[in-house]
Structure 1
Amino acid sequence: MTCLVTATTRARVVVLGAASALLALAWAMSMSRGAWIGGLVALVCLGIAEPRTRRALGSIGAAVVATCAAALVVPSSTMVLGLVGARLRSLGAPTQNQYDDRPLIWAEAWRQATQHPWFGVGPGGYEAAASSLGERHLR
């Protein structure tokens, strides 16, 4: 963002603007609420640390607020905005989705990390190790 705001040539502004737009799109489409919160905190810190970015960040902030407001109003069945709105609404009720049981997931990750501290359980092995634990408890 700072590079974009302080760019001196039109070509640099176009390239950095396109890169920033693609990064923002990827950030939004990640559907990661943690990434959204972290990114917003980073942008606020950037605005505090670099005064030249404040005007651009104000415009971006207004666009983000407008997009979030639109996402919260449209039905969840709407393609992109509806999905973003559903993720935003889930910030207020993180336990409504069975896949958002973070304390349980973190506890299982900690169990696996302590049992296999050096090499882990391998790529994609989290679910297999977690389900094998469940099978052992059923026996």
Structure 2
Amino acid sequence: MREAELHHYEVAYLAGGPARVADTAIGLLAGAGEVRVSRGGLLRHVRTAVSSGFPAEDKVLALLAETPKSGHAVRDVRAHVAAAPATAEIKVRLAGWACWSTPSQGRASACAGSCCATWSSSRSAAWRPTWSC
């Protein structure tokens, strides 16, 4: 197990996978005033927007910079960030630290410090974590 603390994108991946990483990037950028969120669910680039250097944030800002006036739907930005290679690298990093095991027979597990989550899937249910600390 890795001794150092996990950063917020690693914790986001453990809590909800690639989609949660995307949500975290969008939320942090919006909270810092680097992007604007409209009532209609559009994200817009702020001219002076600066990333903190995390690839997920870079991806959000790059997408929004393509259409600064019209913006992008949150769902589209979320999908692009979740599918980005840099987001997949988080899982690889976590697996290297023994924090993530690949899903097998409908189960996956992840640990952060002394807490572990196990995800299971069935036909009727989405992947939902069960935590034990």
Structures share a fold, TM > 0.5?
A: no
TM-score normalised by structure 2 residue count: 0.30
- State which structure, 1 or 2, has the greater radius of gyration over its C-alpha atoms: 1
Greater strand proportion: 2
Greater helix proportion: 1
